[in-house]
Amino acid sequence: MSTALRALVVYESMFGNTAQVARAVAEGLELDHVTTSVRSVDEAPLGMPIDVDLFVVGAPTHAFSLSRPTTRADAVRQGAPQRHEELGLREWLSALPGARGLGIAIFDTRVSKMHRLPLGAGPRAARIARKQGLDLLGKPVPFLVDGIKGPLGPHELDRAVEWGRLVAGAARTHAKAEAARRFRLSRS
């Protein structure tokens, strides 16, 4: 692995709030010298990108979890663009081949009046990521919206930039540990 980390931020967003958070997280990663690409889930590569050291994924919370085809269809009926109905982060993560040793950071957006609930898109995405062999770099982080369509709560984008910087640090620590693990395996 080269010394410069490369991240892919993949997000699902119905009304634009999760997309805004994803771009702010990417800004934080870039501020901490992580080369970062940002893609909506319908534009992200299916399967394992070869030139990525870190995934950061985010999705809106639908019915206390990741979206499903039925909840995406409901969002479209409420005004989300039709193209968002086809593919969600749940399906994208489930299509990743095992990626043992690759780090992943996860966030979700949720309505502010539900922010204390332990259920959300992030915890469900974490379960899928672990099943796929990805290493979680920490607990999923929620970002708050003031209603189903938004807007984002005050200072949430600032929090997202800062969280992106924290993820960059965690990714560097993880990459060093993973390199040491691979070195030990190669010597045995």
CATH number for the domain that contains residue 68? 3.40.50.360
d(CA 91, CA 132): 12
User: Looking at the domain assignment, is residue 170 inside a domain?
Assistant: yes
Q: How confident is the model at residue 180 (pLDDT cuts 50, 70, 90)?
A: confident
| Domains in the chain, number | 1
- Report helix angle 156-187 to 17-31, nearest 10: 60
In a domain, 167, yes or no: yes
Whether 177 is in a domain gets the answer yes
Residue 133 inside a domain? The answer is yes
Question: Which pTM does this prediction carry?
Answer: 0.93
Let me know if residue 57 belongs to a domain: yes
| Cβ neighbours of residue 100 closer than 8 Å, sequence gap 6 or more | 133
Residue indicated by tokens 């966030």: 107
Where in the sequence is the domain holding 175, given as residue range(s)? 6-187
1 occurs within a structural domain? no
Asked if residue 91 is part of any domain, the answer here is: yes
Residues 6-54 have pLDDT tens digits of: 999 999 999 999 999 999 999 999 999 999 999 999 999 887 666 888 9
Domain annotation covers residue 157 = yes
Task: Return the structure tokens found at 79.
Answer: 């005004």
From 26-35, 86-95, 108-117, 122-131, the region with the lowest mean pLDDT: 108-117
Helices and strands counted in the chain (H then E): 5, 6
> Does the pLDDT value for residue 1 go beyond 70?
no
Q: What is the C-alpha to C-alpha distance for residues 48 and 40, in angstroms, rounded to an integer?
A: 16
